[in-house]
Amino acid sequence: MVMLAPRFSMSEDRVVPAQHAHRELRRDPPFEIGLSRHLMKSYGPAGLSELYARFLDGAGEVDSLMRRSIWRALAKRCGAGLVVEPGARFRHPETLSIGAGVFIGADAIVQGHTGGQCRIGTRTWIGPQCFLDARDLVIGDAAGIGPAVRILGAAHLGLPADVPVIATDLRVARVRIGRGADVGVGAIVLPGVSVGAGALVGAGSVVNRGVAPGAVVAGTPARFLRWRREVEEEGED
């Protein structure tokens, strides 16, 4: 994933081609589609969620096949080429719409909610140990969600002040990550935030307000640094 980092000379850097965004998208084999349908018919949603635990942490080919087959069976919609790494978990998968070529990293959690909605765009990459509070979440095509990113969809109001905060009502607010945007490792995106298309959020940032398309932001709270176009032009000097 792209992260804001100290600048080094090209003699110290090493540039390698991107892989996930250029991975060829192919149709899933017919037997896998049939397997997902068979599993749903045989086990139902509750039974499939229980069955998933048997393959949750395995690194073998069969484990990988069963994880993606169960996600496909349970999701509202699921495109071809899904990759689900060991330890990746879901809640309320019936609220998830997953595009083609999506990668879900090891130990990531996609937490849907009853009555909620979550759309994950084509070729999106969700890194290891992410937590996505998918109450009302849309992630655009070819977006990058770095390792250990936290996307939050609700927060306690904290009022009235004479009761514990966790006993106060929740404010649920939609979160949008635009097409081609990248959220750096360990960043936190707070409820109600929209990150514009092609924007870059620096590692470890706390995003508490909207990010304009093509902007580069970083910090706690995240602040505008420059436009991605400016970074490109500097690199041409």
Indicate the domain borders of the chain. 27-74, 81-235
Report the distance separating Cα 71 and Cα 101, nearest Å.
14
Three-class SS of the chain: CCCCCCCCCCCCCCCCCCCHHHCCCCCCCHHHHHHHHHHHHHHHHHHHHHHHHHHCCCCCHHHHHHHHHHHHHHCCEECCCCEECCCCEEECHHHEEECCCCEECCCCEEEEEEEEEEEECCCCEECCCCEEEEEEEEECCCCEECCCCEECCEEECCCCCCCCHHHCCEEECCEEECCCCEECCCCEECCCCEECCCCEECCCCEECCCECCCEEEECCCCEEEEEHHHHHHHHCC
- Which segments in the chain show pLDDT lower than 50? 8
Report the distance separating Cα 130 and Cα 108, nearest Å.
5
Tokens of 174: 């939609």
Tokens of 165: 């905060």
Report the distance separating Cα 23 and Cα 123, nearest Å.
8
Tokens of 37: 């349908």
pLDDT of the residue at 155? 93
Report the distance separating Cα 107 and Cα 208, nearest Å.
25
pLDDT of the residue at 12? 77
Q: Tell me if 80 sits within 8 A of 100, measured CB to CB.
A: yes
Residue type, 232: E
CATH number for the segment(s) 81-235: 2.160.10.10
How many beta carbons lie within 10 A of that of residue 159, not counting itself? Answer: 10
pTM: 0.89
State the pairing for strand pair 182-183/109-120: unpaired
| Count of all residues that appear for the chain in the document | 237
Report the distance separating Cα 55 and Cα 11, nearest Å.
44
pLDDT of the residue at 229? 87
State phi, psi for 133 to the nearest 5 degrees: -85, 95
pLDDT of the residue at 18? 87
pLDDT of the residue at 236? 55
pLDDT of the residue at 227? 96
